[in-house]
Structure 1
C-alpha cells in the first residue's frame, strides 16, 4: 500500500488536486434505471464518441493541474463511468455509497478494492441507501438529496458518521435521479438550481444559504446544473447550455465548455463522472 495521497474534501469548489474517474469503455444502457436512459435506450451509447468526450474532459482537468486517477474499467459494470455516485469524500473520509439499485452495487466494491490497496481503509455505511449524487458539501454544511436513491435511514447513518456536520435534507421531484441533477454548489454563497424540481420548503431553505443561478427547462433536459468546479472559480459546463454559461460568466466564473452529450444519454454529466479525492485546504489556496 502506498499512502501518497491524503483524501480531503471540505466543499464542492476548492482547488481540485486529485480526482477519481473511469473511462466509459464498456458504457451501455443494459437495464434502464433512470428517465434519461428511457429516451436513449434504443439507440444506446456510441462508445467511441463517449470515450473521446471523456478524454476531452480529462484533458481540461489535467491542464488545470489536477491528477486524474482511473478505476479499471470492467465489462461487467456498464455504469462505472459515473464515479461520483459510488462514493464521496467528506473531510478526510472516503465513504462508500449504499447503492439504491442492485445493478450498481458491485461498483462500490471495485472502488473499495482500488482505494484500500493504495491509500488505506475507507468508510462503509451500514444502513439505508445513499448515493454520492445526493451528497453536497459546503464546509460544515451537508446538503443531502432525499431521492429515490437516498433514504432517510441513509441520511441518519451519514449524520452518525459525520457528527460535526449540519445535515440539511433537500426534497425534490423523484423523476430527477439525484440532487446534482437539479442543484450544485459553486462557491460559499452561490448555487445553480432547476427550481421547479424542488419541494417549496426545500427551495426556500437553500435560498437562505445561496444566491441561485436558475436553469431553464430546456437546459435542465441537458443536466444544466451538473457542472464541475475545478476551483478558483473555474467551472466545466456543456457548450449547448448557453443561458447557464452566460449566467455563470456574469457571476464571475470562468467557464470551460466541453462536449459531453454522448455520456449524458445515460443520465449523468460532468459532476457525475468525477469523484474528487482531494481538494486543497483553504489555507493552502
Structure 2
C-alpha cells in the first residue's frame, strides 16, 4: 500500500533532455507542466500524500525522480546514474529522502557501480534489477548487499532493448505483468501471467499500479483494454511530452 510520493516539477531545460524518440520532436514545456500537474493530481486522487519538489534547471531530466533513488518501506538507496548529465541529480534528491528515512536507512551506490531506478522492478519483497547501459553488475551487486540486510531479495535480468527494464516489463500485482515480445521470453518471468504489448504500443508497458488502480498512458487502446480485462480500474494520463525525452509514468515519481 503506497501512502506517499515524491515528484519534481519539470524545468524549462527539459527540451534538452536525453532522447531516442527523435521523430516525436522536442517537448513543449507548457504542455509538459499541464501533463505533470494532471499526473500529480491523479496520485493524490489515489490517496497519496505528494511531496512536490521545485524544478531544477541544471538537470533537464530531473523531473524523472525515480532514477536517482529507489525507495521501499525499510530503507532507501540513492543510485549512481550512469550519464554525466544526470549524475548530479542524486545529490538533489537526498534532502527529500531524508525527511522520511533515518540516516541508518539511507544508502548510496558508489562508483564504479552505476544504477538508475528505472531498472529496478519490485515484486513483493523481491527486486528484479535490469542490467543495462545505465545499471551495471557492480551497481546491482551493491544494491543486493544493501537490501538483503533489510529482508528483501534481488536478482538481475538482462535489458537487451532500449533504456530501462521497466520500459519493457512492468509488474501490476496479482501475478500480472506487461511485457515486450523480447521480455516475454525472459526465463525469470516465466511463472507470471504475461500480456505481450504489441510493438506499436510498446510505450504503454510503463503503466503504474497504485493501490489497486493502474494509471495508463493515454492513447494505447489495446493495452488499456488488456489491463481492464485483468480486472483493474484504470486512470488515463497523457504523458506524451515526457515520452519525447524517454520518460514515462513510473519515472515521474518515487512511491512508498
TM-score, L = length of structure 2: 0.92
Q: Is the 8 A contact 1:134 1:144 kept in 2?
A: yes
Give 1:126 shift.
2.1
Q: Distance in 2 between matches of 1:113 and 1:26?
A: 22
CA contact (8 A) 1:134 1:150 kept: yes
> Separation in 1 of the partners of 2:48 and 2:116?
24
The residue correspondences of 1:3-82 to structure 2 (distance < 5 A) are: 15-30=1-16, 33-36=18-21, 38-40=22-24, 43-82=25-64
| CA deviation after TM superposition for structure 1 residue 195, in Å | 2.1
Match of 2:179 in 1: 193
Aligned match of 1:145: 130
Q: Helix, strand or coil: the match of 1:195? A: coil
- The equivalences for 1:226-237 within 5 A come to 226-232=206-212, 234-237=213-216
Unaligned residue ranges in structure 2 (runs of 5+): none
Query: How has the CA–CA distance of structure 1 residues 18 and 89 changed in structure 2, closer, same or farther, with 3 Å as cutoff?
Result: same
Structure 1 pair 226–98 and aligned structure 2 pair: CA distance change class (3 A)? same
Distance, in Å, in 1 between the alignment partners of 2:217 and 2:167 is 14
- Distance in 2, matches of 1:48 and 1:29, equals 11
User: Which residue, 144, 150, 158 being the options, matches 2:143?
Assistant: 158
User: Does 2:71 match 1:89?
Assistant: yes
**1:165 positional shift:** 3.1
1:211 to 190, 193, 198: 193
Is the partner of 2:67 in helix, strand or coil?
A: helix
* 1:44, distance to aligned residue in structure 2 (A): 1.7
The residue that corresponds to 2:244 in the other structure is: 265
Do 2:7 and 2:50's aligned partners in 1 also have CA atoms closer than 8 Å?
Answer: yes
